[in-house]
Structure 1
Amino acid sequence: MLRMSTLLATACLAWAAPLASIAAVSPPEPPPVKDFFASPRFAGAFLSPDGKNVALLLRGPEGNIVLANMPAAGGPVRVIAGVRGMDVVGVHWINDRRLVYSAVRPDLEDDERARSPGLHAVNLDGSKHVLLVGHALNTQTRDPALPPNTHFLGSTHDGSDDVYVVRYNVFDEDFKGYRLFRLNTHTVNLTAVDAPNGVSNVLIDAGGVPRVATRREAGQVHLMYNDPAARTWRELAAYPGNAPTTLTPRFVTRSGEVYVSSRNGRNTVGLYRLDTRTGKLDPEPMVGLKNFDFDGTLVLAPDHDRVLGVRYETSEPMTAWADEGMQQVQQRVDALLPSTINELQVAADAVADAVVVHSYSDTEPGFWQLYHIGSGKLTPLGTSMPQINPLQMGETSFVHIKARDGRDVPAYLTLPRGERKNLPMVVLVHGGPWVRGGHFAWNPQVQFLATRGYAVLQPEFRGSEGYGYDHFMAGWKQWGRAMQDDVADAARWAIDQGVADAKRVCIAGASYGGYATLMGLIRDPALFRCGVDWVGVTDINLIYDERFTSTSQDAKTYTLPVLVGDQDKDAAMLKSVSPLENAAGVTQPLLLAYGGKDRTVPIEQGRKFHAAVKRTNPQVEWIEYEDEGHGWRYERTRIDFWTRVEAFLARQLGPR
């Protein structure tokens, strides 16, 4: 992929000789902290099913994200909806004339957002606005709004103004007991829909009929199918929730073919056709990726019975078009925008003249445009972070590292612009830990550190998802052990490559990454000069204690004993990998930050560790953000925290 830096390097060759004689000058000042951690100005663009209108999410004059609309053929942008004190999210066109959206308070934790996002409906001209589902934490909720345990599922695909919603038992922390309903977005009337109790992940076919669903019960996942011949739901498959045979429904074609993502006996997840008569998968995947799990989306033709293309991610996001016409459109767009990844969004139900283009890269936060296929012209829609200059950002590469036992550990390495060797380095450990941590996209934390002169290494240690089942399973019961070895081995690799200065390496991370930071300081004191832990787990046993975590009972019973450790059988091991139990081993400078409203890792976890570590370590800085949760929601907090991190790293690793 041709990058902007490549173009500039070529253009500047003629000036190399004269510039060489100019006296050295001080490097330019890096962008201010607020430029990286300000709230985005623009959050998305969504083409209507007929391709004639575009819904826009943009920051309004009061500072919150509002919903706007503009004609795809050109015309004024008109704000059609917004909720005071909340950001509009989750926009869906339910037909060509009406939309639904959710709204969340920006300060809420992820689980609070998931439980009470509310639901609103509005016409594309801003008329007939209806509050369908109330917000649990909004005192302005009014009748006839439905209670906040009602969640949007999808359109009915039949041209009506109805949508499908699911409702769960509001007292059930594990979200069991789903029921399926059809909701009229004008009258707010609910109609029960035939479906098994406890269903989730429901797929609606092109005729508007719920066709496939999953149901979780007692650690088991059941894949259910609504058989049109028998007119009843029946089970296609059942398996343990953490088994490698997991089937995740992806889409249903108009003709009733069902596609799921599964490992199907292989190491990596692929996309397969599921035979609804036998419940078996085709032997070969429709989409299979070497060394990466498929976790993408499919783009269907307007007839909903043909695949136009598939989006997926390897070391960077990719789109493979099966349709020759879309291949040509992609090529023309890429020729106009050679420095970014350009994802095309097509109209769902019609062949339209315009497509939405979302462009981004490791150095570009993202911008949206309309590409007009007939004229070949681009119409700007919005930019996420207009204050960011891509030419000041560090470039990211995907690397492979050999761990001490020979395991391949993928990682993302970001280097400051124009610098390659003997750099101070921050090893940034992702949270989760059972997620894919790194992506080829602009990351405010990574780029902030890179502009301050630090190399940033993000290891995808064993236990990380996205790189095959073997890599994921190798992390079972390896908190503070082999997972930690991978992080240390990644740091040593960077030193051996000459990228990092062995005397100037810091480890940092949030949540599980915070835990790994503390264990890294304990296990490898000669490797890591300092540590930055925010909202990090400080003791595994505290995850099982309801006073110190909001972890669900289902996870405590079925997931944590397998992935982390059994409190009884593995008691000695859990104690040995507890930062709290080994706090005296932390002798390096350490920055700790926790949120007073954190439900995932309550602040008491941090306080207990701080009280233990400060007995023997005077180089510990403690920060409490009393109105924050598990991660920094407020812009002021993000700016304050990263200003402190910048000062801390400058003291420990040397000035930029």
Structure 2
Amino acid sequence: MSKLSLSAAVAALMLGASALAATNASAAPPTAAEWAKRPALRGVSISPDGKHLAGVVSPDGEKTYISVWNADDLTKPPKIIGPPPRSNMVGVRFIKNDRILVSSWQPVETTTGQGFVVKSYTGRNFIMDLDGGNVMTTAGGRDQFADEAGSIIDTLPLDPKNVLVDLFRPNSKGTVYVQGIYKMDAYTGAMTKVLQDSDKFSGVQTDLNGDVRARVEFAFDNGKAYIAQWIRDPATNAWEEHFRSYAADREISEIIGFTKDPNIALVRTSKGRDKSAIFEYDIKAKKMLGEAFAHKLFDAGSVYESQDKADYGEILGFTYEGPDGGSYWLDPTLKAAEDQARKALQYQTVKTEWTDIATGEKARISYPDGAKVSLADWSNDRKRFLIVRSGPKVAAEYYLIVDGQIKLLAKAKPWIAPETLGDMRVVQYPARDGLIIPAFLTTPPKASFGEGPYPTIILPHGGPWGRDDLGWDGSGWVQYFAARGYAVLQPQFRGSEGWGQKLWRAGDKEWGQKMQDDKDDGARWLIDQKIAAPDRIAMHGFSYGGYSAMAASVRPNGLYQCAIAGAGVSEIARIKTGILSGSRWGKEFQEPTIDGLSPLKNADKVSIPILVYHGDRDLTVEMSHSERFVQALKNAGKDVTFVKIADMAHTAGDTPDQQVKVLTTIENYLKTGCGPGGL
């Protein structure tokens, strides 16, 4: 690691500095280059003692570094830590008061046994001092490029020196990895084995004392795949199986934490429910007790527990998966800090009617109006708090509360003027079979583009077992185009995860069929609402969303003037035998749900122009999916444009140059290649 003299540049990120203040005098939309600049600051965390802050900074919008500030005096220049060669810093967090875990990302080329060169990206993690010194890997070694690797599974807050790591080392053949749990000295790298693991178990978890108390077994019961939760008895230290989750059932029960009572664990489960909830679990009796937390309308998420010696392990709150996420605080100090920040930063909400997808029951929900203000991190003693303000029109802004005073640290992208961006809101609409579909709708700024109808982009997410959120869109696919006059709808179509079991399971075997109907029904709903111009609608998506765009080009519904497919799946059979090959769990858990329309087999039915783009470092959906689809279209005499993006993986923009390429390629195609006369 290199320590660089960038203090002056990084200091300009801080409150009062003018170098990065928003200077947008006009209402011109941000350029692709402005949008693609790396954030000036992101991924901020606070040290356990509250004396330091660390984050990823980029003074020039291209190269990234780690910056460490003295929280007692933010006027002092921060310490700057540079990345290894050919790398960029992508993350940082504290593992001790004076030791940080840093993540980097770099391109790699690997030669196969057949002599083929496979291009991809890889991440590396390092532990170091707050000035970038005393560097070691998470496997305890000093060689930054060694094959051995480890992941930190517990920072052991009550232990001043050690952390717990799950260590992977190649065997003599270099092909099979042996797992083991080690206590590692975060300063010297010295290792002490705690548990010899095996291929039979994974998912190791610790209790509040840092003792390994839970692990997961993958096994079969009369040919049916399941994962079994094993727990170590606190009195006898004997391992016992407690409950199973069968892949075919898709009702996962998992431990998400242990409590101050060593006999009580916290289990999140969706078993017999549409929305997952968190229960207390009696280890000795092997039974679920009462609900620890549940939300009536949304899935429960995770638990916050105190890291402070005074009340270590006390439950501070829970999270849930609302449209913008959500936290439910039990601790009055944390709630008061968030309330203070919301008042100071003029946080407001919008209320809307919500129909529960599973029951049809009506309710009123609220979500942030413009920007969310939330508590992101805090010192162990809960006296210093990191606040993040962000939303669809606001890239993250970081604030620190010290001694009751709130101070701005920096804004991630102060060069982007919020008034040039669109307004996003949460909506629901009925699919043709009556299923309620949630969605996020972004409309252009009215001051520049009026009341509509607007040219419109239907933007399905990837996965398909994924979801969107009400927040800042780093890809630019929402706001970059809303700022240029397009309405953008992000349908949470059947098969989307995080909205309950009914919506998720309704997508089974409906690729290109009912899942596609949901997107088309969203377009029709926008037309009925006078939001979408009926002759100016396109579909764009990436990954599964790219598949959706390919499917839209095949289906004869007349809704879309063109389709834009990024890294799309063109052959369902190849996904089932490719991405899921070798995964017995995947073959029972997800593979049976993947079936429907195959775009490649229906290439002769394409009736609209289509743009296909793909990165040549994509190992998730191989570029051959796009190449074979494009060749079939060309053979059939269809209107197709293919753009290969050099060095891009399955992320739609690993570098600013790649993101600019994606945005401008889509923008130019919408203007000139999308239907007669462009969109």
* 2:209 is equivalent to residue 207 of structure 1: yes
Q: 1:343 aligns with which of 345, 349, 374?
A: 374
> Cα distance, 1:64 vs. partner?
3.3
Quick one: which amino acid aligns to residue 103 of structure 1? Answer: S
| Aligned-partner Cα distance in 2 for 1:452–1:404 | 31
| Aligned-partner Cα distance in 2 for 1:91–1:316 | 24
Q: Does structure 2 conserve the Cα–Cα contact (< 8 Å) formed by 1:56 and 1:69? A: yes
| Aligned-partner Cα distance in 2 for 1:361–1:564 | 33
> Cα distance, 1:611 vs. partner?
0.7
Cα separation, partners in 2 of 1:421 and 1:80, compared to 1, 3 Å: closer
Q: Does structure 2 conserve the Cα–Cα contact (< 8 Å) formed by 1:57 and 1:66? A: yes
| Aligned-partner Cα distance in 2 for 1:363–1:408 | 27
Q: 1:435 aligns with which of 455, 462, 466?
A: 466
Q: 1:123 aligns with which of 122, 129, 141?
A: 129
- Higher mean C-alpha deviation, range 359-368 or range 205-214: 205-214
* 2:618 is equivalent to residue 588 of structure 1: no
- Higher mean C-alpha deviation, range 113-122 or range 631-640: 113-122
Q: Does structure 1 conserve the Cα–Cα contact (< 8 Å) formed by 2:534 and 2:559? A: yes
Match of 1:275 in 2: 282
Q: Does structure 1 conserve the Cα–Cα contact (< 8 Å) formed by 2:556 and 2:607? A: no
Q: 1:362 aligns with which of 363, 371, 392?
A: 392
1:110-509 to 2 correspondences below 5 Å: 117-133=123-139, 143=143, 147-168=147-168, 178-194=179-195, 196-198=197-199, 199-217=201-219, 219-241=225-247, 243-256=249-262, 257-283=264-290, 285-300=291-306, 302=308, 303-339=311-347, 340-347=371-378, 349-352=380-383, 354-372=384-402, 374=403, 376-418=404-446, 419-443=450-474, 444-509=476-541
Quick one: which amino acid aligns to residue 189 of structure 2? Answer: V
Quick one: which amino acid aligns to residue 274 of structure 2? Answer: N
CA distances 1:169-209 after superposition (whole Å, capped 9, x unpaired) = 76999999643222223333332222653443333223221
| Alignment gaps of 5+ in structure 2 | 1-25, 111-117, 348-370
> Aligned to 2:549, what secondary structure does the other structure show?
helix
| Aligned-partner Cα distance in 2 for 1:511–1:275 | 42
Count of aligned pairs = 606
> Aligned to 1:621, what secondary structure does the other structure show?
strand
TM-score, normalised via structure 2 length: 0.83
Quick one: which amino acid aligns to residue 323 of structure 1? Answer: D
| Aligned-partner Cα distance in 2 for 1:605–1:552 | 20
Q: Does structure 1 conserve the Cα–Cα contact (< 8 Å) formed by 2:268 and 2:277? A: yes
| Aligned-partner Cα distance in 1 for 2:482–2:459 | 12
> Aligned to 2:301, what secondary structure does the other structure show?
coil
| Alignment gaps of 5+ in structure 1 | 1-26, 135-140, 566-573
* 2:634 is equivalent to residue 632 of structure 1: no
> Cα distance, 1:62 vs. partner?
9.7
CA distances 1:588-645 after superposition (whole Å, capped 9, x unpaired) = 1111101222111111111111011123344211101232222331221211221121
| Aligned-partner Cα distance in 2 for 1:327–1:378 | 15
CA distances 1:249-293 after superposition (whole Å, capped 9, x unpaired) = 22223333311211142111112212112332224x322223322
> Aligned to 2:195, what secondary structure does the other structure show?
coil
> Aligned to 1:46, what secondary structure does the other structure show?
strand
Q: How much identity, in percent, do the aligned residues show?
A: 26
Match of 2:23 in 1: none
> Cα distance, 1:412 vs. partner?
0.5
Match of 1:51 in 2: 50
| Aligned-partner Cα distance in 1 for 2:148–2:580 | 20
CA distances 1:408-448 after superposition (whole Å, capped 9, x unpaired) = 11100000011443111000011100112343334421001
Q: Does structure 2 conserve the Cα–Cα contact (< 8 Å) formed by 1:360 and 1:442? A: no
- Higher mean C-alpha deviation, range 634-643 or range 216-225: 216-225
Match of 1:4 in 2: none
> Cα distance, 1:114 vs. partner?
12
Match of 1:616 in 2: 636
> Cα distance, 1:63 vs. partner?
4.2
Quick one: which amino acid aligns to residue 628 of structure 2? Answer: K
Cα separation, partners in 2 of 1:437 and 1:328, compared to 1, 3 Å: closer
> Cα distance, 1:157 vs. partner?
2.7
| Aligned-partner Cα distance in 2 for 1:391–1:591 | 30
Cα separation, partners in 2 of 1:642 and 1:126, compared to 1, 3 Å: closer
CA distances 1:437-466 after superposition (whole Å, capped 9, x unpaired) = 343334421001101101000000111001
| Aligned-partner Cα distance in 2 for 1:556–1:266 | 22
Cα separation, partners in 2 of 1:552 and 1:633, compared to 1, 3 Å: farther
| Aligned-partner Cα distance in 2 for 1:252–1:469 | 26
> Cα distance, 1:368 vs. partner?
0.9
Match of 1:9 in 2: none
Q: Does structure 2 conserve the Cα–Cα contact (< 8 Å) formed by 1:176 and 1:216? A: no
Quick one: which amino acid aligns to residue 562 of structure 1? Answer: P
Q: 1:598 aligns with which of 615, 618, 628?
A: 618
Cα separation, partners in 2 of 1:128 and 1:91, compared to 1, 3 Å: same
Match of 2:354 in 1: none
> Aligned to 1:121, what secondary structure does the other structure show?
strand
| Aligned-partner Cα distance in 2 for 1:479–1:495 | 24
> Aligned to 2:478, what secondary structure does the other structure show?
helix
Cα separation, partners in 2 of 1:483 and 1:643, compared to 1, 3 Å: same
Q: 1:557 aligns with which of 562, 576, 587?
A: 587
Q: Does structure 2 conserve the Cα–Cα contact (< 8 Å) formed by 1:108 and 1:629? A: no
Match of 1:13 in 2: none
| Aligned-partner Cα distance in 1 for 2:373–2:321 | 13
> Aligned to 1:614, what secondary structure does the other structure show?
helix
Quick one: which amino acid aligns to residue 52 of structure 2? Answer: N
Quick one: which amino acid aligns to residue 325 of structure 2? Answer: P
Q: Does structure 2 conserve the Cα–Cα contact (< 8 Å) formed by 1:106 and 1:633? A: no
Match of 1:538 in 2: 570
RMSD value over aligned CA atoms?
3.0
| Aligned-partner Cα distance in 2 for 1:65–1:161 | 29
Q: Does structure 1 conserve the Cα–Cα contact (< 8 Å) formed by 2:106 and 2:121? A: no
CA distances 1:555-598 after superposition (whole Å, capped 9, x unpaired) = 66333432214xxxxxxxx5xx1100000111211111012221
| Aligned-partner Cα distance in 1 for 2:584–2:175 | 7
| Aligned-partner Cα distance in 2 for 1:178–1:247 | 24
| Aligned-partner Cα distance in 2 for 1:316–1:639 | 27
> Cα distance, 1:385 vs. partner?
1.6
* 2:654 is equivalent to residue 647 of structure 1: no
